[in-house]
Structure 1
Amino acid sequence: MAFIDFSDAAHTALPAVHSNPAPSMPSESLLSRLERRVVELAREDGLQSLIPQRPRRWLARLILGPTPPSRMLANEQLEALRQLAVRAWHHGYTLPVSAIREAEAAGHSEAKVGAVIDFIGRSRAPVRRLAA
């Protein structure tokens, strides 16, 4: 029985995002520079940043200090894009359908949502798996 490893072929077929900062694919041209920056900044955010932060009560402020600043953005459309990007950075192409619907409900087109997911898919480091 033969085993063919196609993992290297997939990454050579897709253009590298880091080598050319200008949009190289038509799907990336759907995203403005600000939106691409929001997607890149969402890489460091964890899934905990999707949960709305509650203000601390007086005893918690006394013990733990003031409430830390929120990761949420003031612009609702950019916040919906950030939430989609955070989920895409953590789940890859296996996003929940609810995440895509929330982004579309916030006013993003299906093409823009696909462009964000493709941008993240090309930017993620390849996962190396050992054949067992």
Structure 2
Amino acid sequence: MAYLDLTQSYDIGAVVAGKAMADADTATLSPLEWSVVALAQRDRLSSLNKPGRVALAMGRLFGSRPNPELADAKLEALRRIAVLAWHRGYAIASHEIRAFKAAGFTLAQYELVLASISRSRNARNNQRAHV
């Protein structure tokens, strides 16, 4: 009877996971980028959509709401990821992640943003549970 040692394959996975965590530890964002992440907490998911015909007509009739979209494409990509993370956690569509990377961010920065938002969401939920 042959013996197959599977522990080596697990060790390789641990090394890869350890490298990904090390990259996330070295990722940083500027203070401006962190402020975009914080402000995105107040944005609704609907702020990510382009206004439709009805919304444009209502805006003309009653006055338009301010557009939350940022002028800088890189900051707007960060805002989109942050809004999605504040509302959906880690359930973010792959095309949004690709757009985030195309804007000039790295996967390590993506993981940093999601981890930070996750910690904040958990702290807020724990605070509500104890009140």
The match for 2:37 among 36, 39, 43 is: 39
Distance 2:101 2:60 in 1: 37
In the superposition, the TM-score normalised over structure 1's length comes to: 0.66
Aligned to 2:82: 85
The match for 1:103 among 100, 104, 118 is: 100
Q: Is the 8 A contact 1:56 1:66 kept in 2?
A: no
Indicate yes or no: 2:25 matched with 1:26.
yes
1:94 alignment partner, SS class: coil
Q: Displacement of 1:26 after TM fit? A: 3.3
In the superposition, the TM-score normalised over structure 2's length comes to: 0.66
Distance 2:37 2:109 in 1: 12
Query: 4+ residue stretches of structure 1 with deviation over 4 A?
Result: none
User: How does 1:8-23 map onto structure 2 within 5 Å?
Assistant: none
Q: Is the 8 A contact 1:53 1:70 kept in 2?
A: no
Any unmatched runs of 5+ in structure 2?
A: 1-23, 127-131
Identity of aligned residues (%): 40
Any unmatched runs of 5+ in structure 1?
A: 1-24
Distance 1:26 1:80 in 2: 21
Structure (1/2) with the larger helix percentage: 2
Q: Displacement of 1:83 after TM fit? A: 0.2
Comparing 108-117 with 35-44, greater Cα deviation is found at: 108-117
Q: Displacement of 1:119 after TM fit? A: 1.0
* Paired positions, count: 100
Distance 1:61 1:113 in 2: 37
Distance 1:80 1:61 in 2: 28
AA paired with 2:83?
V
The match for 1:48 among 46, 49, 62 is: 46
Q: Displacement of 1:95 after TM fit? A: 1.9
Q: Is the 8 A contact 1:49 1:71 kept in 2?
A: yes
2:101 alignment partner, SS class: helix
Asked which structure has the greater RCO (Cα within 8 Å, sep 6+), the reply is 1
